[in-house]
Amino acid sequence: MILIAESGSTKTEWRIIDSKQNVFHARSGGINPYYLDASGILEVMRMGLIEYIETPFKEVYFYGAGCSSARNKQTIRDCFMQLFPNAKIEINHDMLAAARSLCGIEHGIACILGTGSNSCLYDGIGIIENVRSLGYILGDEGSGNYLGKQFLKHYFKKELPQEIRDQFDEEFGLEPTDILNNIYHHHMPILYLSSFSKFIHKFLKDPMIYQMVYDAFKKFLEVNVMKYTNYINIPVHFTGSVAFYYEEILRKVGTDLGINIKDIVVGPIDGLTQYHQPK
């Protein structure tokens, strides 16, 4: 029995592969060691795996946001050890999840474009180069929270078309002070900023909104993908809700920059399941 998990700050996708290679699905809250202590992580695990908590897993593969440091990896590993003490446990960060899911055993550039953004150069075995994301304050170009920031700047500067401004006010009913309080006092501002992505997507036919999104993706490709040597000859793959739902614009930007964009998927879990499935 194999357990695979791909986790962000808000949700975790679980896949269970049995001895006959049947695949079962489960979902739970997010597991991020920056936001949850060990007891909180264990609670999320138990709730998400309530039907499988007595299963004698032989292998556990966990990929998660916040799992780059040795300390955070150990926190997650210790929690799994309490639940499945006899399992082989492997903890990795979400960038490797994207690379393994998108590239498998092939050479490529893997990109995350969702709530946040990131990229790496992958050699078919592991990550060999990574342009640091720098997070939502200094980086995250092209991500959901980046789009939210750009949109709100236009909103506050009264640069949006009146129709879009009116619909925004009607849908969200927020005063400018409410928005600022939610950004600067929200415990997870990255999620708050990203929440406006769906609204932005509705107005892609507006020239100003289209250009805003185009410029955001162009910035991502310029400061991330185009930093890798010989990027022009390497297939580039994307995972994440923003890449998936804004695919048409993303591919247009890639074409304009001469970048070979291949696969775009909404999330990495299906690719990870295939990667870890016994051959």
Question: Quick one: 124 and 255 in the same domain?
Answer: yes
Q: Which strands, in side-by-side order, build the sheet including 11-17?
A: 23-29, 11-17, 2-7, 59-64, 88-93
Express as a percent the part of the chain with pLDDT over 70: 99
184-216 pLDDT, tens digit per residue, is: 887 778 888 999 999 999 999 999 999 999 999
Residue 95 lies in a domain: no
pTM metric for this prediction: 0.86
Longest dimension (CA), the chain: 61
**Quick check: 131 pLDDT over 80?**
yes
- If we measure between CA atoms, which residue out of 173, 257, 187 comes closest to residue 215? 257
**Quick check: 139 pLDDT over 80?**
no
Residue 241 lies in a domain: yes
Question: Quick one: 34 and 73 in the same domain?
Answer: yes
**Quick check: 33 pLDDT over 90?**
no
Residue 177 belongs to domain spanning? 105-266
Sorting pLDDT into bands at 50, 70 and 90, what band is 109?
A: very high
Question: Quick one: 59 and 182 in the same domain?
Answer: no
Residue 272 lies in a domain: no
Residue 112 lies in a domain: yes
Question: Quick one: 109 and 200 in the same domain?
Answer: yes
Residue 234 lies in a domain: yes
Question: Quick one: 146 and 207 in the same domain?
Answer: yes
Residue 99 lies in a domain: no
Residue 116 lies in a domain: yes
Question: Quick one: 173 and 214 in the same domain?
Answer: yes
Question: Quick one: 73 and 154 in the same domain?
Answer: no
Alpha-carbon dihedral angle through residues 269, 274, 278, 279, given to the nearest 10 degrees? -170
Question: Quick one: 76 and 163 in the same domain?
Answer: no
Question: Quick one: 24 and 123 in the same domain?
Answer: no
Q: Residue 236 maps to which CATH number?
A: 3.30.420.40
9-18 pLDDT, tens digit per residue, is: 778 999 999 8
**How many domains, in total, are found in the chain?**
2
Question: Quick one: 47 and 162 in the same domain?
Answer: no
Residue 32 lies in a domain: yes
The residue among 52, 86, 120 that closes a domain is: 86
Give SS3 for 90: strand
